[in-house]
Amino acid sequence: MPVQAVYITAALLLLATLPLPLPADFFELVKIVAAGTFAWGAYQNFQRKLFLLPLAYTMLAILYNPVMEISLAKEITIALNLLAATLLLSTKQHIAE
């Protein structure tokens, strides 16, 4: 996965935290993109025989899963988006090829 995809995912996650009147379809797009990015990151890091990072990516891929949605409070979702974007940006070298 190119590093630009990681930047785009982080930007979408950060944009979703802003108090802007965004359409519901935007949040669905964020879930799809984030779930795909985290699933790819988990796959890449499981192949490298790492332990903690793929588990974090897997948990986030499950939380952002667009098929089977997990409803969380708005405050928790904002904190999760910030945490996920920070994790992506700080570990981008583990996902990028």
* Average confidence (pLDDT) over 69-84: 94
Q: Please give the pLDDT value at position 53.
A: 92
State which residues form the domain around 54: 3-95
Q: Please give the pLDDT value at position 24.
A: 87
Q: Which positions ≥6 away from 60 have C-beta within 8 Å?
A: 34, 38, 84, 87
Domain count, the chain: 1
Q: Please give the pLDDT value at position 50.
A: 81
Residue-wise pLDDT for 7-63, tens only, equals 999 999 999 999 989 998 999 999 999 999 999 999 999 988 888 999 999 999 999
Q: Please give the pLDDT value at position 73.
A: 93
Distance of CA 53 to CAs 16, 17, 25, 50, Å? 24, 24, 29, 7
